[in-house]
Amino acid sequence: MKKKTLVPLIIFLLGICLVGLIVYKTDTHEKAERHTTAQLNATTYGERIKNEIISGIEITNTLEQILTSEDGEINHFDTIAENIISGSIASIQLAPDGIVTDIYPANGNEAGKIDLLHDKDRKEISCYARDHHTIITQGPFEFKQGGLGIAVRNPVYLKDENGQEYFWGFTIVILRIPDIFSDSIDAISNFGYEYRLSKTDTPWSDTYTIIEQSDGEMIHPVSYSFTIGEENWIFEVTPENGWRNTTLIAIIIGFFTLILLLLCGLTRMWLVSKENKNKFQILAHTDSLTNIHNRYRFDELAEEMIDKNPKEHFIAALLDIDDFKFINDIYGHVYGDRALKNLADNMKAFFPHDVVLGRNGGDEFCILLPNYTFKEAEELFQEFTKIPKTFTYKGKEYPFYISLGYAEYPTFAPNYAQLMRCADAALYEIKLHGKNGCMAYRKGLQSGVRKQLGFAFKDIAEHLPGAFIIYKADKKDDELFYANHEFLHMTGYKNIDEFFKLTKKRFRNLIREDEQQQIESSIWEQIDSGNENDYIHFHLRKADGSYLSVLDHGRIVESPQYGRVFYVLFMDWEDMHIHYKDKFSE
């Protein structure tokens, strides 16, 4: 009960910390996003304001070009000024030698005809413009008619008849504020920003004067700076609602708090179901009869171990109980299960703790040995297969035996799947060699054929009398696959390995050389004509090099692994004659 209360409380406290962190991160991110967007807008509209001011200044450049082309004279000034003036321009002026002589429109601007180079309010900055060859702006100042303006003075220099440059005077334009950049100001306001536009009082000053600003408070504004002539301007913006997205923060707090409460409510249910869940997981990965890993879990662990340690050596082994069907049939499945459980217990007791054990299903088991080589595994498996294994039936112990095949990674297999196929091939091979033992995989063994051909071999070996072999029905590659014990005994071969070695696994090497071509032609002539392979008489080579006169009878069958194969039964020619001679004499 204490745990069920404490764990949800801890989750709640940790959740509150997490919500606080999420809110902090979100708030920081939103502020950064808003700063980025605001900076982009300040740059964009600051640049537009600059261009709008420069477009007004261009009028002074136009007048300068006329003066240059007309040797310092402008005829029809009023007509020219009327054509280039716009609504954001209060007036256009000419000031030869620094004295304003021409103003358009003249009406209401008579007071503007002053000596700029000697006027106390305009002298210093006008002389700076003349001496430094730079455009200067001055203002803002109030118009008598109302509104604000900025004066732009452009110093004009001409050349005399000797090519010497001299100061002609100023071309001047008076800009209306904020009309000259009203489009940009309206746009930035519509985007929800407060703004402020300032400029330095003079080119040599660091003091800024506000040219235009909105009514709201400027909190930590971002800015964009630009230069006109030698004067610095700065355009600042800040969101009307501040840098924090309070609506989003409120939604996040509400949403995650609700999630946290639901999580705490579900924690109790999770704690109750956790124990059952762990039991189910164990059942899903464990073989219920033997209490070792099932094949799914074995594959999972084995692949994981090999993937994590690809340079180490691993040994995989497959083993099963010899003639397990016989145990089930004679003693019953209950005692077959006891044999399986006893085998699993033997494996757990015998192998090291770091070994992975599993049951594939039926009577087949699998083993993975980490950090083992062939030589080390051979001693281990030989010892294990020799350990007596029994099950009890009606108070009496009955022995059973196992066959085991194993393979090494990475010597013969580059991955786990191939490693298991090699171990399977080795298990199949030991079955062919009489069971009750272990065998290592070697090159040349066929993997994946035990289920396809093993059952057929067993049936033939147990239920068909006589000596027989099986080989591939191929004119160019008549590979030998199998020979039963009676055939090996009849021909004098010690075992199937010697048989394969001396014959080079070729059927034609069993036929006396002078008969090979005739016998092979006879066999394939019958097959190609669609007839069953009839009895054929020839001399069969024995292990000692001598020959035995035999009669063979073959049948072609389709193997899912090898395609067409021959099942061939051999009879001793002399024995048959003696046997049937005795029969006939009776």
Tens of pLDDT along 315-349?
Answer: 999 999 988 887 887 788 899 999 999 999 999 99
- The one-letter amino acid at 336: G
Nearest CA-CA partner of 139 in 183, 176, 194: 176
Residue 586 is predicted with a pLDDT of 45
Residue 428 is predicted with a pLDDT of 87
CB distance 34 to 243 below 8 Å: yes
Measured at the CA of 362, the angle between CA 357 and CA 367, to 5 degrees, comes to 20
* Longest alpha-carbon distance in the chain: 161
Residue 584 is predicted with a pLDDT of 41
**Tokens read off for 337:** 């299960």
As annotated, the residues of the chain forming the CATH 3.30.450.20 domain(s) are 28-239, 451-586
Residue 572 is predicted with a pLDDT of 84
Three-class DSSP category at 189:
helix
Residue 578 is predicted with a pLDDT of 64
Residue 271 is predicted with a pLDDT of 72
Q: Say which CATH architecture domain 287-448 belongs to.
A: 2-Layer Sandwich (3.30)
Q: Is the peptide bond before 310 cis (omega within 30 degrees of 0)?
A: no
As annotated, the residues of the chain forming the CATH 3.30.70.270 domain(s) are 287-448
Q: What are phi and psi of 546, to 5 degrees?
A: -80, 175
**Average pLDDT of the chain, as a whole number:** 87
CB hemisphere CA count around 352 (13 angstroms): 10
Which of the residues in the chain have pLDDT under 70? Answer: 1, 272-283, 446-465, 530-534, 559-562, 577-586
Q: Say which CATH architecture domain 28-239 belongs to.
A: 2-Layer Sandwich (3.30)
Residue 510 is predicted with a pLDDT of 92
Global confidence as pTM: 0.46
DSSP 243: S
CA-based Rg of the chain, rounded to a whole angstrom? 52
Using alpha carbons, list the distances in angstroms from residue 565 to 207, 419, 556.
104, 28, 6
DSSP 286: B
301 Cβ neighbours under 8 A, 6+ residues apart:
293, 356, 368
CA dist 137 and 368 (Å) reads: 88
CB distance 191 to 41 below 8 Å: yes
Q: In terms of CATH, what superfamily is 451-586?
A: PAS domain (3.30.450.20)
